[in-house]
Amino acid sequence: MTKKPKQDPTEQTIVTKVEKMPTEAEKKAYILFLSGPLVGKLQQLKEGETILGRAEDIDVSINDSRISRKHLSVKVVSGETTLTDLGSTNGTFVNGKRMQSQILKDGDKVQISSSTIFKFAYQDNIENIFHKELYKMAVVDAVTGIFNKRYFLDRLKEEFSHAKRAKNPLSLAMIDVDHFKKINDTQGHLAGDFVLAHLAETIKKMVRGEDVFARYGGEEFVIILRGTEEQGAFQLAERIRKTIETQPAHFESATIPVTISIGIATLDGGEEFSSPEAFIEAADQYLYKAKQAGRNRTISKKNKS
């Protein structure tokens, strides 16, 4: 009996099960609330129309006094999802622009009040989007898209400890939007949120990848500047301040001038701080001096604009 020659393993065909790739029609539409009374809620959008608003007898009721009773509808038809504003008082904004009706794309962010923001997703795996977005919600500010206060405080502890041990310089810039209450009072809270997002987008382009830029709360922002001495931090802060001053925010038909005040504290051996909290307090005190001196300026221990 003739033996068959052994086949080279590299020439053998391996039989595997090929999973069917989901088509667009098979994917499901979801909205995930990033902020507001329903923060963390993941809502699947079924075929047909879903009404969102403040009323109790609708599909998704949101206890938010700044939205209308029947604020908007989201209609899913044959894999296409269309958002329509239902004549709301304060409007519906998709990715920062007021919209009456729009076909939603995966990743679109919808804001219907200063506190209620949700994200649209078109996915076949609910767990993937849920866990991914929950992580983002834990570390990213929903309005500005930059890191939030919780993430900043955690990172500052790490950076502060490392700078102390390595005897490296570390600077902290604290930024406050000048007369922000006036913007909210005259232009509305959604305009105020737009200004914050505009400011965050502008500054984000000016900081290094290793720096930590975050929203500290309200109209305050912070930047952790690793390995940066006071003079370098002051020069960056001044570039940021002057750029913001020359680039007003354009919200719908309104042009909104924006200026900022900045305070800088530096850990460089010349000024010691006992804790990250003391470091923050020092930056805040220099920010206070900048505002007291007339706003739209930068102040650190050795420098003032």
Residues catalogued as catalytic = 219
Closest CA to 148 of 237, 212, 236, 228: 212
The answer to whether the CB of 237 falls within 8 A of the CB of 164 is no
Tell me the C-alpha distance between 251 and 126, whole Å: 35
Query: What is the three-class DSSP state of 80?
Result: strand
| Residue 77 in tokens | 């038809």
Which one, of 256, 191, 265, lies nearest residue 225 by Cα?
265
Contact 290, 261 (CB under 8 A): yes
**Nearest in space to 103 (alpha carbons), one of 79, 87, 130:** 79
Q: What are φ and ψ of residue 185, in 5° steps?
A: -70, -35
| Strand 260-267 relative to strand 298-299, pairing | parallel
DSSP character string of 28-56: EEEEEEEESTTTT-EEEE-SEEEEEES-S
Taken as a whole, the chain contains a residue count of 305
